[in-house]
């Protein structure tokens, strides 16, 4: 968990993100960097953001999804979602996903 936190914290600082989280496919927070409430909320909505189920209205998920990106990938046969808010770039998410896969694959 410590290694995951450092991986996410470094990416957050490097890209000047509001928050970055690793969530399971049901939206439960696995690890995150940023304000705890923001991380919890971002993780909860990560499956919706990843699947493009964001409404174009004033809903809370639409507000959270503003300026957010998500990347779904597998670790050990389980789908996880890396989600960042505040200016993430897809290249950054791919690099962080590789780090998460390496960290959790070693565990």
In this predicted model, what pLDDT tens digit does every residue of 36-57 receive, in sequence order?
999 999 999 999 989 887 666 6
More confident residue, 46 or 76: 46
14 has a pLDDT exceeding 70: yes
Secondary structure class of 31 (helix, strand, coil): strand
CA dist 88 and 105 (Å) reads 24
Which residues lie closer than 8 Å to 100 by C-beta, 6 or more apart?
Answer: 4, 7, 22, 31, 75, 80, 82
Helix, strand, coil tally for the chain in percent (to 5): 50, 25, 25
Tell me the domain boundaries of the chain.
2-106
pLDDT of 64 reads 80
Instruction: Indicate the class that CATH gives domain 2-106.
Output: alpha beta
């Amino acid at each position: 968990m410590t290694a995951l936190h450092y991986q996410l914290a470094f990416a957050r600082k490097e890209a000047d993100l509001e928050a970055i989280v690793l969530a399971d496919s049901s939206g439960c927070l696995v690890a995150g960097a940023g304000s705890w409430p923001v991380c919890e909320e971002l993780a909860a909505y990560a499956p919706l953001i990843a699947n493009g189920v964001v409404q174009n209205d004033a809903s809370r998920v639409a507000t959270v999804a503003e300026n957010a990106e998500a990347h779904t990938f597998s670790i050990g046969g389980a789908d996880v979602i890396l989600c960042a808010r505040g200016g993430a770039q897809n290249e950054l998410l791919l690099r962080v996903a590789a780090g998460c896969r390496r960290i959790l694959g070693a565990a």
